[in-house]
């Protein structure tokens, strides 16, 4: 016996009319009749009395209806209960780039959806979680979407000579000391790439995996750094000027991937849609 047979039977019992039941189920009348016949054969008894074009529940059919209704109601509640569970309401994000950007998005989302939880990891691979956010020159898979394309600025301390400029060609900074993220960071790879495109290797004076440290060292005038348009200092002591790079064009592209397991979770899909809209409206 199959679950679908019971659903067909209950619909037929509701109308006690094959045509009406088949119309509600959106199946052909012969298919419904055959399904009920198979159920009767498996149970070893008739569930309906047939009279002309009508079917009438008999005592066995009435007993089966009585037994099935609470069972089917319980089964129908399973999906709702699963989606309302704590795990289902947790969005798993693999964050390979733009941690400040996404952190701001999560904070904004939690303000309107406080019951949704987040688990953020920074696995080196981008094939884990419900959502993956990464930085690259182009999408790694056809299903990935561009989340944001933002400029990369040069950041310098307020008391430096460079702070008097509003724009600069990157080649003119070849003698400057650079404060950079670690080599595993996508932002670091972009820094190296753009400096090479300008014809030089960056002179690294400080390297850190902590963006707050990079901001603080930059504001202290220890060197210059690349700063994405959406990144803002965490520390109140980090004060610097952002300078536009005129040549080459320096930008960072952020891509987002929604995995199949995320597509099946309405809470994940809702946050994905929120993040896409939030990025497009420029609220981050």
Mean pLDDT over 142-153 rounds to 91
The set of residues, in sequence order, having a beta carbon less than 8 Å from that of 12 and lying 6+ positions away, is 18, 21, 32, 36, 48, 55
| Higher per-residue pLDDT: 119 or 79 | 119
DSSP 26: T
Helices and strands per DSSP (H, E), number in the chain = 9, 12
124: confidence class by pLDDT, cuts 50, 70, 90: low
pLDDT tops 80 at residue 36: yes
Who wins on pLDDT, 162 or 238?
Answer: 162
- Percent pLDDT > 90 in the chain is 48
Residue 199's pLDDT band (boundaries 50, 70, 90)? very high
Domains of the chain: 3-83 (1.10.10.10), 90-144+254-280 (3.40.190.10), 150-251 (3.40.190.10)
Q: What is the mean pLDDT of residues 143-163?
A: 92
Residue 126 is predicted with a pLDDT of: 60
pLDDT tens-place string over residues 224-250: 999 988 765 544 456 889 999 999 999
- Nearest Cα to Cα of residue 96 among 213, 181, 194: 181
> Residue 218 has which token pair?
């930059």
pTM of full prediction above 0.85: no
195 near 201, Cβ under 8 Å? yes
| pLDDT exceeds cutoff 50 at 212 | yes
**Is 60 exceeded by the pLDDT of residue 76?**
yes
Terminal alpha carbon distance of the chain: 55
């Amino acid at each position: 016996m199959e679950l679908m047979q019971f659903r067909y039977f209950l619909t037929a019992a509701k109308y006690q009319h094959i045509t009406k039941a088949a119309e509600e189920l959106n199946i052909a009348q012969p298919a419904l009749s055959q399904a009920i016949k198979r159920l009767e054969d498996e149970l070893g008894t008739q569930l309906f009395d047939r009279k002309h074009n009508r079917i009438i529940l008999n005592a066995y059919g009435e007993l089966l209806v009585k037994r099935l209704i609470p069972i089917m109601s319980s089964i129908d509640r399973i999906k709702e209960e699963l989606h309302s569970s704590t795990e289902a309401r947790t969005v798993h994000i693999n964050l390979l780039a733009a941690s400040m950007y996404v952190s701001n998005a999560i904070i904004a989302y939690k303000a309107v959806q406080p019951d949704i939880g987040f688990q953020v990891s920074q696995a080196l691979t981008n094939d884990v979680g419900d959502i993956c956010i990464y930085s690259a020159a182009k999408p790694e898979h056809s299903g990935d979407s561009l989340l944001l394309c933002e400029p990369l600025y040069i950041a310098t301390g307020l008391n430096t000579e460079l702070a008097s400029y509003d724009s600069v060609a990157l080649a003119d900074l070849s003698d400057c000391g650079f404060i950079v993220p670690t080599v595993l960071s996508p932002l670091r790879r972009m820094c190296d790439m753009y400096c090479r495109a300008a014809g030089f290797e960056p002179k690294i004076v400080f390297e850190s995996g902590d963006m707050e440290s990079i901001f603080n060292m930059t504001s202290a005038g220890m060197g210059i750094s690349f700063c994405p348009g959406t990144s803002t200092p965490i520390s109140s002591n980090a004060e610097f000027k952002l300078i536009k790079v005129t040549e080459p064009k320096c930008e960072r592209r952020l891509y987002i991937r929604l995995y199949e397991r995320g597509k099946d979770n309405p809470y994940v899909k809702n946050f994905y849609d929120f993040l896409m809209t939030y990025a497009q409206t420029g609220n981050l």
